[in-house]
Chains A and B, each alone.
Chain A
Amino acid sequence: EIVLTQSPTTMAASPGEKVTLTCRASSSVSYMHWYQQRSGTSPKLWIYETSKLASGVPNRFSGSGSGTSYSLTINSMETEDAATYYCQQGSSYPPITFGSGTKLEIK
């Protein structure tokens, strides 16, 4: 089973700040997906296949990575970006695995 480790666990960013969230896999994977979950709501697909933005996702978001290291970057933090972000792999399946999440707060 591939274990995904996200860092940091929690962080706070100021409006306009650049933010980078990291997801590391215990073995190499071919791609990574990311989900955004705001408090009290269902997860939303945010970035798929490492770098493709899901429908409606602002272009201040980007994704990159390969092998065992992947990242989600926000070019300029906005208030509405405060949420928990989860990475997910489907390369080595089953099982599908998720990271434990990074909670991003606004400073």
Chain B
Amino acid sequence: EVQLVESGGGLVQPGRSLKLSCAASGFTFSNYYMAWVRQAPKKGLEWVATISTSGSRTYYPDSVKGRFTISRDNAKSSLYLQMNSLKSEDTATYYCARGQYRYNYDYWGQGVMVTVSS
């Protein structure tokens, strides 16, 4: 059974950093692109980052480029999101998702809440 379990969320002050983790199991992690998608309270879905199977290629939208870094450890079947210079508008539930052909996401974690507030 495919499982994605996020951790590392919490309350953080504006301008500070936080690192999210996603532990994957039930599939060969190294064979899949992975992504982070977020959802602000009562809002829609927003793509945050994607990483290739080896980790050599990463992609971000302009809203987080230069502040967020996605990475992976295939030996540990783990995905990470380093978030720096956090802003109040980064407050959201962050989902880890498995990428498929043509960039759809077929499995999602339960999500982890990040609140940026002083």
Which A residues lie at the B interface, using CB under 8 A?
A: 31, 33, 35, 42-45, 48-49, 54, 86, 88, 90-91, 93-101
Contact = CB atoms under 8 A, between A and B. Distances in A.
A31 B50 contact: no
Contacts of B109: 42
Interface stretch (B13-21, B66-74, B81-89, B98-106): B98-106
Interface residues of B, number: 23
Given A43-B45, A86-B44, A94 B50 contact: yes
A78 to B, nearest CB: 23
A43 B106 CA distance: 9
Given A35-B45, A98-B45, A48 B100 contact: yes
Nearest to A48: B104
A42 B18 CA distance: 22
A86 B108 CA distance: 14
Interface in B24-51: 35, 37, 44-47, 50
B111 A90 contact: no
Contact of B46 (A49, A94, A98): A98
B103 A96 contact: yes
Given A42-B110, A94-B59, A33 B104 contact: yes
Residue of A54, A86, A94 ringed by the most chain B CB atoms within 10 A:
A94
A76 to B, nearest CB: 26
Contacts of B105: 35, 43, 45
Contacts of B104: 33, 45, 48-49, 88, 90
